Amino acid sequence: MQTVSDYLFMASLLTLILSFVGGGGRYNGVSAYTTDLHMQQDPGKEFKRQDNAVKRYFKSKLFWIAVAGIVISVILSEIG
C-alpha cells in the first residue's frame, strides 16, 4: 500500500507542476518591464489581469485532480 501511495503522490506532484507550467502558457507572464509599463497606464487594470490569471488557475481541473491525488496519497500512507 505504501508504494501505491508513493507513486500516486509523485504522479500528483508532477501533474501539479505541469499544471503550473501549462497554466503559465496562457498568461503572458510578468516581467519588471511589462509590469512597469502597464502600471504606468492603469494599475487597476494590471492588478485585475493578474488576479484573473490566478482565478483561472484555481478553476483548472488539472490543478484539482493533482490536489486530490496528493490528499488521497497522504490518506493511503496513514492507513497503510
- 12's grid cell: 500528483
* 73: number of Cβ within 10 Å: 20
Instruction: Enumerate residue ranges in the chain where pLDDT < 50.
Output: 25
pTM above 0.95, yes or no: no
pLDDT of residue 6: 92
pLDDT of residue 53: 72
Q: What is the dihedral of CA 2, 12, 78, 4, to 10 degrees?
A: -20
pLDDT in tens, 21-43: 876 545 555 555 555 555 566 76
